[in-house]
């Protein structure tokens, strides 16, 4: 049980630091990059997706090591024969999808539960970051001070429709 708790803690700290570093790099980097705002948003989305994929891969590697080396549990259901199977299970757990075709046994249940909670928090954190970034980067047309705060009046320049 101690190995599972330690492993889960290391994974949470590691994936949280990974996201923190990515968010920090994006925040600083977007100030220096002279890309079109749409390209900046796309770059932010892809970088955050890459950070989530790295987090999922870290959990997948941890599952493989847990079964094969640490022997703190195993998996039932659909057989886990190749590394892609661990990646699949990790994605399903990280996103809290929980299909149930593969399920952990032993102390791996703790690691899996922590991955779902960690994934939920990191996805929410990413959503918040993207929301703030879009508020700063998105090319909304400026509204004259006379129109600010007035809901009933249309702004001087229409926002583009998408």
Q: What is the pLDDT of residues 147-160, one digit of tens each?
A: 555 544 444 555 54
Whole-number percent of the chain with pLDDT over 90: 73
Residues whose CB is less than 8 angstroms from the CB of residue 77 and which lie 6 or more positions away in sequence, other chains included: 100, 101, 102, 103
Instruction: Determine the pLDDT at residue 161.
Output: 56
Residues contacting 42, CB < 8 A, separation 6+ = none
pLDDT (tens digit, 9 = 90+) per residue, 42-89? 999 999 999 999 999 999 999 999 999 999 999 999 999 899 999 999
Is the dihedral angle over the CA atoms 112, 118, 121, 124 positive or is it negative?
negative
Statement: residue 93 has pLDDT above 60: yes
CB atoms within 10 A of CB 122: 20
Q: How confident is the model at residue 24 (pLDDT cuts 50, 70, 90)?
A: very high
Residue 22's pLDDT band (boundaries 50, 70, 90)? very high
Render pLDDT for 104-140 as a digit per residue (tens, 0 to 9): 999 999 999 999 999 999 999 999 999 999 998 887 7
What whole-number distance in Å separates Cα of residue 96 and Cα of residue 91?
A: 8
Better pLDDT: 37 or 19: 19
Report pLDDT for 146: 56
Closest CA to 27 of 133, 98, 107: 133
pLDDT confidence band for 33 (50 / 70 / 90):
confident
- Residue with more model confidence, 94 or 142: 94
Span between the terminal Cα atoms of the chain, in Å: 52
The pTM (predicted TM-score) of the whole model is: 0.83
**Chain mean pLDDT for the chain:** 89
Return the structure tokens found at 97: 């999808």
Q: Which residue do the tokens 């990059």 mark? A: 33
Return the sign of the alpha-carbon dihedral for residues 56, 57, 58, 60: positive
Helix (H/G/I), strand (E/B), else coil: 76: strand
| Residues 30-39: contacts with CB under 8 Å, at least 24 apart | 30/133, 30/137, 37/137, 37/138, 37/139, 38/139
More confident residue, 29 or 107: 107
Residue entry with tokens 């879009």: 134
């Amino acid at each position: 049980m101690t190995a599972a708790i330690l492993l889960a803690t290391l994974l949470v700290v590691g994936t949280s630091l990974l996201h923190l570093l990515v968010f920090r790099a994006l925040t600083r980097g977007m100030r220096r990059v002279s890309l079109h705002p749409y390209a900046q948003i796309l770059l932010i989305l892809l970088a955050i997706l890459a950070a989530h994929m790295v987090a999922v891969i870290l959990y997948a590697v941890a599952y493989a090591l847990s079964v094969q080396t640490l022997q703190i549990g195993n998996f039932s259901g659909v057989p886990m024969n190749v590394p892609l199977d661990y990646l699949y299970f990790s994605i399903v757990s990280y996103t809290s999808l929980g299909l149930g075709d593969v399920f952990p046994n032993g102390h791996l249940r703790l690691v899996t539960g922590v991955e779902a909670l960690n994934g939920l928090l990191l996805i929410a954190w990413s959503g918040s970051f993207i929301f703030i970034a879009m508020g700063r980067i998105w090319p909304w047309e400026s509204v004259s001070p006379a129109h600010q705060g007035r809901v009933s009046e249309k702004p001087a320049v229409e926002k583009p429709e998408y």
